[in-house]
Amino acid sequence: MTVIETAKVTSKGQVTIPNRIRRLLYVSVGTSLAFGLSKEGVVLLPCKVTVESPYTAVEWAKIERLASAKGKVYKSAKRAKKHIEAL
């Protein structure tokens, strides 16, 4: 079934998804949407966004250790930079 609806783009690049389309896609407040391009046009799909940490469990443990440790004083910026690079 082809459903055609129209909407205008605002000056901020926003578009209101017509109610009929929202109902067909089960889109409601807070729903995340994925946009894609195909030969036929724009593809709009509801999707789930999950949070994924950029760090492994080992890296988080190291970060937590560093954050909880008392600060170290360096005699020069060069020594501080060398220490940071070694982490």
Task: Render pLDDT for 16-51 as a digit per residue (tens, 0 to 9).
Answer: 999 999 998 899 999 999 999 999 888 888 999 888
Query: CA 59 to CA 56: how far, in whole Å?
Result: 5
In whole angstroms, what is the distance from residue 82 CA to residue 87 CA? Answer: 9
Q: Which residues pair with 42 in a beta bridge?
A: 37
Average pLDDT over residues 56-85: 81
Q: In whole angstroms, what is the distance from residue 63 CA to residue 82 CA?
A: 18
Q: Do 25 and 44 form a contact (C-beta atoms < 8 A)?
A: yes
Structure confidence at residue 73 (pLDDT): 74
Query: Domain residue spans in the chain?
Result: 57-86
